[in-house]
Structure 1
């Protein structure tokens, strides 16, 4: 162990350091405590730890983990100084992993620090914004094979539309959103299915977050950020196969290796092949994903990371039914419809073929102990061709309309350049953390497509017409067009700054502001001579403020925030020929709550109340001038969220959440005002997962998992004329597993009680019945 001192004028002393295994790997999950006190912390995934506000004196620092021999070191903490301690464990990384797997002491379902949520290293207890982290350990425990299933662990989040785009459309705090961000920067513009093969964590960041993330890739309810796996400096890998009901067949591999002797060049490859059918009489998705990652440690202060993601997919398009005219006949629920939910009405030869090829580069450089730089470059490419469709059911006569589209091509390309500078320094006795950043984001689209209403048939008794919709029949129908050939280009230029000031050791303030300049070049239509239409530019400011007070230092904090988000609005042509310019719509959130991390990381979570008001929404000027558009609409969303992550007993881990949301159109349309938006989702949501793994004995490594989700009823059509409600539901899942250092076996049952339920946003989408899956993993 090596100890040294760095001057830092503070009223107390502090301790920080690193923990590494005997083979040089970070000692993640090891506990650091001060003997004879209640002070302690857990080593993070980088091997780092820190203890603040330590009274001057002589102490014994204990490094421990159940199953390992504790290591002790005598230390001296001095006033106004930071003691740095570097610890080398006697165990190897392989031995440490074995202990972590079987001991169950570590709260494996949580991470207490993030570099991307606030674009600076910040502990959860220091951040006035609420976020939930879904870890890879939780995904492995639940045998998660679909990205959308991972999001079921986030309080207040529910899938509204499962499709091939950005991991499904979900609702957060009453607003629909998707998962477009990767490691804090744009990470997807394609329509391929996300695969969790290279996910380290998923960060669900709550509330309007325009101050750091702008408007293009987030919603007023929040955003989702995928944090990907990184290479490390030892050879290691695992290969897994999963098979299950409805044609599930899945192969994955995760292989890591250094590429040179001094371990400055590291490589990791995550890859997988996935095929999945449907419980209906048609429907499938098949794809291959490859995600290589290369890390080059140029010197002690500079690191370059280069990542790639490629996916090639073929699928029968996602399933959507719009229900129309239900009120007139008293059909107010899917159960009231005369409809066979096991029929898909679109055959397997109607396919869509999306691809993506993305490249990411990140250069980190430390100028000094106080200042660092991060440069991000992203090049995103998505292509798609094929056939897809959706259906509209008119309840009063069981009529089902099949609407189909055909794409010769749909291409999306994006470039993102982001430069951040971070500072961590003192102003007198106050710690100050500063972020300044610049960003350029460019998105272009090109498409060549046509749309047709293929036919109408009786949903209850379709007869021979059921099989009329085939790929040759649709191609014959659309070959004469007309085809829409168009292109678009949007550029966004941004600058932002954020400051976190420790007014005292326990009380900190955060302030952020972003300026966005949105330059929409318009849409070029070949049929109109490729003359840009709808071009406009718009600028917006987005502020954010937050306060945190640690009632119990490093254990319990109270927080409050004000956050803003915005959405750009294009000019509109009025019926009298005039052009109206509109400003961005604004969402303003006030939130207050508490976060906690106590009992040595065994119990953590948060509870908060939020109030979001959206103003400057575009709406029809009804009843005075119903054909004119004005900008004075508003919408409210408020609620309570609670999350709990616990390790109450050795080997026993719990994650639970509950959310209540009240949303209302205030001034949008006379038929909607006062009602809950269909996109807001159910008012009440709950999630739970219990995991127990035997830590010792002859069955050591044997594990049980059980949990599920609850959603209250969801009015997907809710206004003065129509009311169509998806019923409330509770789904349960269970798993059995056996985990050893060299292999693992898991059996999972999804929808254990074979519950029949639906999700949707205006649409009605039946969900998968009970399915059994079995997975085997070999580790080396």
Structure 2
């Protein structure tokens, strides 16, 4: 009897369970872009419920176990216009509900965080290069994107190492206040990195790569959209930072390595409310590293919070911050006597011990940087969108530093020291962009209209002395150690520091239209007007202001793209302009000469590929840059200045990112540059500029990660960089050349759902190599990094 009762109860439970299941329905369908392509990783939610799904690589979704009733289905992702539909479902019913986004595939590529890319090291679109969402194949300008996946795969811990993945780019000066990582050469010209998410983000010291989503190197003079103050004729660098998204997840990592490297990083993403309209993400790093020399170090703390608040279907606010505080003895320069009379033309011929720094660790500099960014995206209606950007950057640096200068003959070394009481920089930028997409006579137009205002202010007080001169080859211990911060402070006592204050402002307007003439032929036309106001430099000691002037410049840009095979192959050409403001000059006869802005005009043509469903992307191009209006000494009137100097820079660049099979990735780049002065002073006319960098550069990285089996998650990588010899001092009477080098790097890693471990060898072949621009700066020998990371939450 008891057993029969148990069977009866079990039968009733099974019947109830079956009845309950029978009452549940299914909602499924597809989410497509505006062109009808599958939209991957899109959130599909039942409003007011905890049920939902994400779309797969075919744009499909399915929500199971939906109880009968009326619901609102919401399709959304950060940065997209959300869509909602009403749906009624009955018991045991399967309802199919499809959505079509208002965004294009190119826009979608930029706003979806994380996975699913066929080629994880490649970025096929950008919203910042042209200041509108534009696929790479549609853009007549060349740019390289270094993805966060490549940065992670290479176990990169410094911003300057990320730059080594950009074809034709080489670091020249380290820790010199010109942006995070230093000054680099690109297409024969020097520049630094001041842009962040397409707007100015000035930095002094170091900005850590922990919050990088990608690093964009935008090639060629780009004055039309980005002005002149923060760009160079060779191009510019834009940091695309990580954004909050709607999944709780995070990573905490620890790295330890050679020469005292200790590094802790964290990246945490948290939705702050139930409907996931308020999202928060914070990245940070605590970094310290020493030097292979007998002195030298760098240590800092970096924190970067980011908040996204979707106030309505039409308005989204983005708030970002970056804070860095640290100290270092990372400033190193060695200027050799390169005159022909010495017979010394390479670092090896100096007989100099480059493991000796000649500047002790108490000669340290303290740096604090604070950046704040606010962005408001608003859907105005009728196809118009508004984006308002505000950014503030402030830096404060003080301390002691020194550079080394060889006396004639290269036997004695002068140590030139600076004691900075304060160096404060502040920048405010306000930028307003309006975009619209519309048709005229059935021709698609993508219009951008923008206004930009930027103000920079600098205050500084410092003292400079030629501290001493010692034996460069065999200095005595006492002489070697006598340069200290205390000794420098005593030396400058009683002297008057150089105290200055300066201010500059720029007012700009620009317009751009991307016109689809046919489905495969696209034209880009844009123009900028730029008003520059230099309020001059005020000397607090003399009470005099110098260098005050105003100047107006125009910068056009034209481009043409033809796609013989739609979305797979494009042939492009561009004409681009960049400019630099030039101050008036007081001539020897006390007359004042007013000059025009210095102009760089580039013509470029090439081919872009996106083949094998995105597995292979490549760009190949030839460029020709002519610089006009350079001020030089008048050969007919010694001491007078004349504005008729020219410079030429031309070359070829190629890069490819290939993912032939799952887990295998290849990144390769090649660059050749021929740069020379066409009309300059007699001592350098026709010669390659000292700042142009090596003529030939190659970069590459190959990696493979096992996707299944007992070794699933195991990965290895191999790659490196080659640079030809680099002339850092040249004239009719002098020559100094840094030798060519090849540096090989390798990595081993094991990546699982909840943790990752890795080992990296940098400069595996222990190459003795140098960088510099008029200087000789030795680089790190073979070194190792071990990394341990824990992943939590929704991290896959």
State if a TM-score over 0.5 links the two structures: yes
2: CA distance between counterparts of 1:756 and 1:465? 27
1:96-245 alignment, distance < 5 Å: 106-165=118-177, 166=179, 167-188=181-202, 190-245=203-258
2: CA distance between counterparts of 1:4 and 1:772? 46
The Cα offsets for residues 344-385 of structure 1, whole Å up to 9 and x where unpaired, read as 000000000011111110000112362111000011110111
How far has the Cα of 1:262 moved from its partner? 1.7
What SS does the aligned partner of 1:139 have?
helix
Question: Using a 3 Å threshold, how does the CA distance of structure 1 residues 650 and 325 change in structure 2: closer, same or farther?
Answer: closer
- What is the aligned length? 723
Residue of structure 2 in register with 1:599 after alignment: 612
Asked if the contact 1:613–1:634 (Cα under 8 Å) also holds between the matched residues in 2, the reply is: yes
Root mean square deviation of aligned Cα: 2.6
How far has the Cα of 1:649 moved from its partner? 1.8
Residue of structure 1 in register with 2:361 after alignment: 348
1: CA distance between counterparts of 2:398 and 2:583? 28
How far has the Cα of 1:327 moved from its partner? 2.0
The Cα offsets for residues 3-33 of structure 1, whole Å up to 9 and x where unpaired, read as 7999x9xxxx754656425789996993679
Confirm whether residue 713 of structure 1 aligns to residue 725 of structure 2.
yes
What SS does the aligned partner of 1:589 have?
strand
1: CA distance between counterparts of 2:77 and 2:139? 19
What SS does the aligned partner of 2:546 have?
coil
Residue of structure 2 in register with 1:547 after alignment: 560
How far has the Cα of 1:250 moved from its partner? 0.3
Unaligned runs of 5+ residues in structure 2 are 1-27, 46-50, 61-75, 82-95, 106-111
Residue of structure 2 in register with 1:576 after alignment: 589
Asked if the contact 2:525–2:559 (Cα under 8 Å) also holds between the matched residues in 1, the reply is: yes
What SS does the aligned partner of 2:460 have?
strand
Residue of structure 2 in register with 1:586 after alignment: 599
1:300-311 alignment, distance < 5 Å: 300-311=313-324
1:239-318 alignment, distance < 5 Å: 239-318=252-331
1:380-419 alignment, distance < 5 Å: 380-394=393-407, 396-419=409-432
Confirm whether residue 496 of structure 1 aligns to residue 495 of structure 2.
no
TM-score (norm 2): 0.87
Within the candidate set 511, 529, 538, 2:525 is matched to 511
Asked if the contact 1:25–1:233 (Cα under 8 Å) also holds between the matched residues in 2, the reply is: no
Residue of structure 1 in register with 2:4 after alignment: none
Confirm whether residue 691 of structure 1 aligns to residue 700 of structure 2.
no
Asked if the contact 2:40–2:56 (Cα under 8 Å) also holds between the matched residues in 1, the reply is: no
Confirm whether residue 485 of structure 1 aligns to residue 499 of structure 2.
yes
What SS does the aligned partner of 1:197 have?
helix
Q: Highest CA radius of gyration, 1 or 2?
A: 2
Residue of structure 2 in register with 1:633 after alignment: 645
Residue of structure 2 in register with 1:362 after alignment: 375
What SS does the aligned partner of 1:625 have?
coil
Residue of structure 2 in register with 1:446 after alignment: 459
Residue of structure 1 in register with 2:20 after alignment: none
Confirm whether residue 20 of structure 1 aligns to residue 42 of structure 2.
yes
TM-score (norm 1): 0.89
Confirm whether residue 646 of structure 1 aligns to residue 658 of structure 2.
yes
Within the candidate set 574, 579, 584, 1:561 is matched to 574
Asked if the contact 1:28–1:46 (Cα under 8 Å) also holds between the matched residues in 2, the reply is: no
Question: Using a 3 Å threshold, how does the CA distance of structure 1 residues 460 and 207 change in structure 2: closer, same or farther?
Answer: same
Residue of structure 2 in register with 1:737 after alignment: 749
Deviates more, 1:324-333 or 1:151-160: 324-333
1: CA distance between counterparts of 2:672 and 2:166? 13
The Cα offsets for residues 475-519 of structure 1, whole Å up to 9 and x where unpaired, read as 100122221111001000000000000000100100010000000
2: CA distance between counterparts of 1:447 and 1:638? 38
What SS does the aligned partner of 1:129 have?
coil
What SS does the aligned partner of 1:527 have?
coil
Asked if the contact 2:40–2:57 (Cα under 8 Å) also holds between the matched residues in 1, the reply is: no
2: CA distance between counterparts of 1:32 and 1:174? 45
1:750-761 alignment, distance < 5 Å: 750-761=762-773
Residue of structure 2 in register with 1:30 after alignment: 57
Asked if the contact 2:537–2:545 (Cα under 8 Å) also holds between the matched residues in 1, the reply is: yes
Question: Using a 3 Å threshold, how does the CA distance of structure 1 residues 600 and 667 change in structure 2: closer, same or farther?
Answer: same
Higher RCO (C-alpha under 8 Å, 6+ residues apart): 1
Deviates more, 1:537-546 or 1:161-170: 161-170
How far has the Cα of 1:397 moved from its partner? 4.3
Question: Using a 3 Å threshold, how does the CA distance of structure 1 residues 184 and 26 change in structure 2: closer, same or farther?
Answer: farther
2: CA distance between counterparts of 1:654 and 1:26? 33
Residue of structure 1 in register with 2:668 after alignment: 656
